[in-house]
Structure 1
Amino acid sequence: MITLSTLNEVLRIRHGFFTREGGVSEGNYLSLNCGLNSEDDPERVIANRTRALAQLDIEPQSLVTVRQEHTDRVVVIDDNWAPDAPQAPADAMVTNRAGVALGILTADCAPVLLADPRANIIGAAHAGWRGALGGVLDNTVAAMIKMGAKASRIAAAVGPCIAHRSYEVGPEFPAPFLADDPDNHFFFAPAAREGHFYFDLPGYLARRLAKLSVIDVARTPCDTFREEGRFFSYRRSRLKGEKDFGRMLSVIVLER
């Protein structure tokens, strides 16, 4: 499990970015696959989730996840939420409820965990390029502010994702980013293949947060694509011709 200082220093907050290590799954899912939407044995996935959550002293029934679809949608987990509620289609959650663990599943996209320690409000977002460009972080911060948070007090942690040197994109990819903000050219570097680029996803996310006045941002130095022994990777799995891939769990919770 990986933690980052920006959230480690926040009282009453526990968080963790789990790797693929320490679970019971086999094959492509070796070993801590936490994705119930994968083709792994669901009983093994549930066992993996239980193992991961135990490291944070969280009961499995306290975990909340959403049906991630690379959107900008945010769900507020309030007093009306019930543990047996169906998954909402969204890519982020916010809450001020103690004991509710917000969980994000990733395999190259970035998990982003956020907290305002004074307001006791937390958030979690699944931020791939599409959701980030579409405003999922903007909407997450806005939802936290609506609940009583202040952007300048929010601490954010960008977890393991595909790194700049591994994220090669085609000629058409930069256009919507540059249309949104010409300064986004800083996040693209020429690749060896003509007309292709390397995209800096974690750098882009950090700048997006800074533009929202979220300044206290930490990032992991990890690369989910290259570090095969530690992380699942959608892109690596596809390049290897694998049928499916595992997902890693990232969690944040307000202590009771």
Structure 2
Amino acid sequence: MLKELVTDKVYYRIFDREFTKSSHVYRKYKPNSNEAEIDNNLKAILAALAANDILILNQTHGNTVIDADTIQNIGEVEPEGDAAVTATNNLALAIQTADCVPVLLYCIKGKVIGAAHCGWKSAKADIIINLIDQMRVAEADIIAAVIGPAIQQSSYEVDQQYYQDFVNQQSDYQRFFIPSTKANHYMFDLPSFVEMKLVASGVNQITKISEDTYTSPTKYPSYRRSCHLGKSLQHSILSTIIIK
């Protein structure tokens, strides 16, 4: 069911494997995609949200923000970007993840919403800052956020080079890492890194869903878990936000 963020105005829903009306594949213009299957999935999502349209992005782990209100024929395009913003009623913004952090943003007056895909690359490249800047251009006032389910620190082991890339960018980023039991490896807290980016951008009202996608196979797809099991992964969590 929809969860209310602004009374009678802004709502969100996270569609995980417990939503049985979808096969959890959403990118229509991907190679070898089954368009009929994806159409059925999107129709089920639209019905659950009572939405007119939904914007699905071609996510590239970059820092490009899409202004959904400038796009014609939404549903027939998948613009390349990792975040989107809208002030349009009944247009759902959606983020696909399978370990990365989905972030849903809204102004507390309910006029503008945003959504971002925060993998480590896009988070490090300031997708959050870019999205909040776009929301303020659209006259958002005080902005609040929901951080959705993602891989948690206890499941996210990274190597020395990964750690060094972060620390070289800013030395105090080391606080998001703890040593792993494996030599020259660390456990990275991506959700807290994303939360820090939000706070640094002036977002202080944050709802954080701290469920671990990696350790919850019946509820969430996980790219890292699938790789460790030697399996391919097509499914995604779909995190959505909408103005009514």
TM-score normalised by the chain length of structure 1? 0.87
Is the partner of 1:14 in helix, strand or coil? strand
Determine if contact 1:187/1:204 at 8 Å carries over to the other structure: yes
CA apart distance, 1:9: 4.5
Root mean square deviation of aligned Cα: 2.1
Confirm whether residue 187 of structure 1 aligns to residue 176 of structure 2. yes
Amino acid at match of 2:20: G
Superposed counterparts of 1:23-172, under 5 Å: 23=20, 31-36=23-28, 37=30, 41-59=34-52, 62-79=53-70, 81-83=72-74, 86-118=77-109, 120-150=111-141, 153-172=142-161
Aligned to 1:12: 9
Aligned to 1:178: 167
Which of 230, 237, 242 does residue 248 from structure 1 map onto?
A: 237
Runs of 4+ in 1 over 6 A off after TM superposition: none
Determine if contact 1:74/1:91 at 8 Å carries over to the other structure: yes
User: What is the CA–CA distance in structure 2 between the aligned matches of 1:2 and 1:78, rounded to whole Å?
Assistant: 23
User: What is the CA–CA distance in structure 2 between the aligned matches of 1:196 and 1:82, rounded to whole Å?
Assistant: 46
Aligned to 1:211: 200
- Greater mean deviation of Cα atoms: 31-40 or 76-85: 31-40
Aligned in 2, Cα 1:34/1:178: closer, same or farther, shift over 3 Å?
same
CA apart distance, 1:42: 3.4
Confirm whether residue 22 of structure 1 aligns to residue 14 of structure 2. no
Count matched residues.
243
Aligned in 2, Cα 1:178/1:22: closer, same or farther, shift over 3 Å?
same
Confirm whether residue 198 of structure 1 aligns to residue 187 of structure 2. yes
Q: Which ranges in structure 1 are unaligned for 5 or more consecutive residues?
A: 26-30
User: What is the CA–CA distance in structure 1 between the aligned matches of 2:45 and 2:36, rounded to whole Å?
Assistant: 14
CA apart distance, 1:56: 2.0
Aligned in 2, Cα 1:169/1:2: closer, same or farther, shift over 3 Å?
farther
Determine if contact 2:55/2:75 at 8 Å carries over to the other structure: no
- Greater mean deviation of Cα atoms: 93-102 or 83-92: 83-92
User: What is the CA–CA distance in structure 2 between the aligned matches of 1:160 and 1:54, rounded to whole Å?
Assistant: 23
CA apart distance, 1:117: 2.8
TM-score normalised by the chain length of structure 2? 0.91
CA apart distance, 1:252: 0.7
Percent identity, aligned pairs only, is 30
> As a proportion of its length, which structure holds more strand?
2
User: What is the CA–CA distance in structure 2 between the aligned matches of 1:138 and 1:86, rounded to whole Å?
Assistant: 25
Amino acid at match of 2:26: C
Is the partner of 2:137 in helix, strand or coil? helix
